[in-house]
Amino acid sequence: MRRIGIIGAGLCDEATAKTAEKIGRMVVERGGILYCGGLGGVMEAAAKGACEAGGITVGVLPGAKASDANPYIKVPVVTGMGHARNVVLVRSCEALIAVSGSHGTLSEIALALKMWKPVIGLDTWPNIADVHYVQTPEEAVEKAFHLLP
């Protein structure tokens, strides 16, 4: 099973959540496992979509408690390592989809590119060379699977 990560804002508006939820669902429908940071916002919405499609959802958590995970995480990975969990999340995925997000997401985009992993960007940090920017959740998932190694 292919491992697709979603990264993005821990707090987000309804429209962004819908986008993330669609991405989560489509990742599972195409046979992927959804990896994320396990918390709220984009992470929770994507996990919800993936979960409702019957998939496996992995949450790589920064804190020390599994109960930090959002309710749609089936497999919590409890790092207790703060932002260093970003490295574990990125390294575990074959491709990453960034949806909105702030500095934490930027660090994950940069780490993914450093590790030569495909990064798809949707309404996120602009103008980063090597990020594949798209306009819709459908395109994002299509592109992610297309670019898998």
Residues near its own copies (CB under 8 A): 1, 3, 33, 56, 58, 60, 64, 66, 74-84, 86-88, 91-92, 94, 102-104, 106-107, 110-111, 113-115, 127-128
Q: 46 or 111: whose CB is closer to its own copies?
A: 111
Angle at 33 between CA 136 and CA 18, to 5 degrees: 35
Q: 89 or 122: whose CB is closer to its own copies?
A: 89
Minimum gap (Å) between residue 108 Cβ and its own copies: 8
Evaluate whether 98 touches 7 at the Cβ level (below 8 Å): yes
Region of 109 please: left (phi>0), alpha (psi -120 to 50) or beta: alpha
Q: 125 or 137: whose CB is closer to its own copies?
A: 125
Q: 15 or 115: whose CB is closer to its own copies?
A: 115
Minimum gap (Å) between residue 27 Cβ and its own copies: 14
* Euclidean distance between CA atoms 128 and 89, whole angstroms: 20
Contacts of 86 (CB under 8 A, 6+ apart): 37, 104, 107, 108, 111
